[in-house]
Structure 1
Amino acid sequence: MSDMFPVLDLRDTERGPQARAEFLDRLRAAAHDTGFFQLVGHGVDGSAELLDLAREFFALPQKSREALDILDSPHFRGYSQLGRERTRGIPDLRQQLDVGPERPGAPGPGDPAYLRLVGPNQWPAELPALRPAVLDWMSRLTEVSHRLLRLLLEALETPADFLDAVVDPDPQVHFKLLHYPGPAAGADDAEGQGAGIHKDLGLLTLLLQDDKGGLQVAVDDGRFVDVPVVPGAFVVNLGELLEVATRGYLRATVHRVVRPAPGVDRYSAPFFFSPRLEASMQPLPSPYVSAAGGVVHDPDNPLFACYGENVMKGLQRGFPELVARHHPDLLAPAGR
């Protein structure tokens, strides 16, 4: 299983030419074969403290969390109660807090729908330490993600700065605090999904998870296998836009999260690194890409080169109540 989810040490890129070349070979293989790997040596500390803040947030009184209801945010920011977000139409049995870049939101008439994602976050007054901790975490993971993206391009024999134009100076980033509560013993919903079967939408996802496990990845024979918990590691996976840009050479692999056992609580914190909302992906000038067979098209999941269009596709499916309340003009089917 370690070969399926290799542990890559980012420090190897600074340990001389041979160590760097070996790192790039392993990175390319992981991104091509599975689309998932574990990253250590990233230099980002504070993981335990962040997960402690997640526990504190989800332990706040229900009234305090509901004051941040995502349904009150036209920008898809805030707290979601158990089952609010859906994957393939089925409620995900998790609570979450969605956070994006802190910006004023003021889309004008005729602006693309994806500009409605630009806006302020919602923060709990009862937990003032959360806002600076999360914003600092997002800043540090943005730097790691950009570095990792450049290394991935280098591994594909593509100029390392080829995608700088789509992520600089202002990549679209998205962060979630997640709580997966295990069902009560004998509960009717014990078989529900933690997070349903899906692919991520952008470029890279860096996931911090606790020691409970639960993340599963689909392999070639259709089986789902558990991603091991590696202390201090980020689980890294590729998003759909890298699959598009590499004509399918790199994989945005289907994955899911199973519910914890009764009485067990799982906490995690995924960070999503993506191009600017208006940016579109172009095929990478790489010998690996030119020889690739092309993206396998799923009629239930159309892929768009423009990131803003791709992410709106997912949000329209995931938050139908929010769309109905704030964006009724987007209620036309979004692909799945």
Structure 2
Amino acid sequence: MTSEQSLPVLNLERFAPNHPERDAALAELRRVAHTLGFFYLSGHSIPQERIDGVLALSRKFFALPEEDKLEIEMCNSPHFRGYNGPGLEYTRGQQDWREQVDFGANRDRLTVNAGDPPWKRLVGPNQYPTSLPELKPVIEQWIADVTSIGIRVLKAYAEALGQSPDVFEPIYAGGPNQLLKIIRYPGRDKTETDQGVGAHKDSGFVTLLLQDTGAGLQVDDGHGGWIEAKPVRGTFVINTGELLEMASNGFLRANIHRVVTPKAGTDRMSVAFFLGANLSATVPVLTLPDELQKQVRGVTQDPLNPLFNEVGRNFLKSRLRSHPDVAQAHHADLLAEQQKVAETA
């Protein structure tokens, strides 16, 4: 059931230190982040030509011959970077119907010794197709730009919670966790499922989603219905991640959302950026002002998807679950350990 409700639009410029509407903007962000957890962001300063260029280049990648896309197949990468065809990523055990490429911070692979935390395996280089050399500089610049916007949004969240704007800096300074996905949802007739991406929450600080003209994103309205988050030109869709829900003890809401597959003969493009904390960090629980503390709800606990305050442990868990083929190819020992824990629980 779809809802009549729509997502609000917040202008990033209103959060500037000397803006006359700053207090009102922070109050609005606090209300939206506490109740819905989703909004459109305008005023982010990225020109529309660059937005259009990133979407056009993403579409150019997906138009490559299959063998060119499979050159950077994710199964080649122990760091979960690269291309997946439709049906190779899973949400809550069900196949998502989309093709995508995952990129992160392009870093040297770490040496992982016995006894090191397993999340170190996630650090490493991206994969880029040789047949589309222009993709690498555009993707790496885009990651830098949306990281900057994400940190500005994160500072606004902090101030909306009555904190110093830099309260989260100790857990992202020196290398936040950055994940960028360019995504194409191929259209298909509804058969057993219309799952483009199954209902889920995002695990980081905030997500910045760029949509093309195709609809499909839906947000839980909290009353049994779904809000259609239709594309609004020149904006990002922002949503609160589980790191902020944990840090605020549930005052901020990491909301459930999904993507419905487009109709046969059409498709939908999006570019999603997930800003998280450093993989070595542990999420702190903030001391909130009394008036906000009275409204905390505690962190939502899902027995099928337990949350950990250790950032790297949380992120590795989600990658192993979402990409079982990569997990089996490169991290079978971790899967075996998980199975032992499950059997003794």
TM-score normalized by the length of structure 2: 0.92
Give the letter aligned to residue 278 of structure 1: S
| 1:74-123 C-alpha deviation (Å, 9 max, x unpaired) | 00000001111000111111000000111111222221111111011110
In the alignment, which residue of structure 2 is the partner of 1:192? Answer: 194
**What residue number does 1:202 align with?**
204
Partners of 2:100 and 2:183 within 8 A in 1: yes
Cα deviations across residues 259-308 of structure 1 (Å, max 9, x unaligned)?
00111110000000000001011111222553213113221221111111
Letter in 2 for 1:321: D
Separation in 2 of the partners of 1:228 and 1:26?
21
- Report whether the alignment pairs 1:276 with 2:278: yes
Task: State how 1:6-21 maps to structure 2 within 5 Å.
Answer: 6-14=8-16, 16-21=18-23
Paired AA for residue 309 in structure 2: A
Change (3 A) 1:275 1:237: same
Which amino acid letter does the alignment assign opposite residue 96 of structure 2? D
Matched, 1:262 2:259: no
Following TM superposition, by how much is the alpha carbon of 1:155 offset from its aligned partner in structure 2, in angstroms?
A: 1.0
Q: Does 1:161 align with 2:128?
A: no
The residue type equivalent to 2:42 in the other structure is: V
Is the alpha carbon distance of 1:3 and 1:324 closer, same or farther for their aligned partners in structure 2, counting shifts above 3 Å?
A: same
Match of 2:137 in 1: 132
Partner of 1:116: 121
Percent identity, aligned pairs only?
Answer: 41
Q: Does 1:321 align with 2:325?
A: yes
Matched AA of 1:129? E
Equivalent residue, structure 2, for 1:92: 96
The root-mean-square deviation of aligned C-alpha atoms, in Å, is 1.7
Determine whether 1:177 maps to 2:153.
no
Match of 1:62 in 2: 66
For 1:165, the aligned partner's letter is P
Q: Which piece of structure 1 moves more, 9-18 or 194-203? A: 9-18
Please report how far the alpha carbon of residue 208 of structure 1 lies from its aligned counterpart in structure 2 after TM superposition.
0.2
- Aligned residue number for residue 310 of structure 2: 306
Distance 1:81 1:297, change over 3 A: same
Structure 1 residue 172 displacement after superposition: 0.9
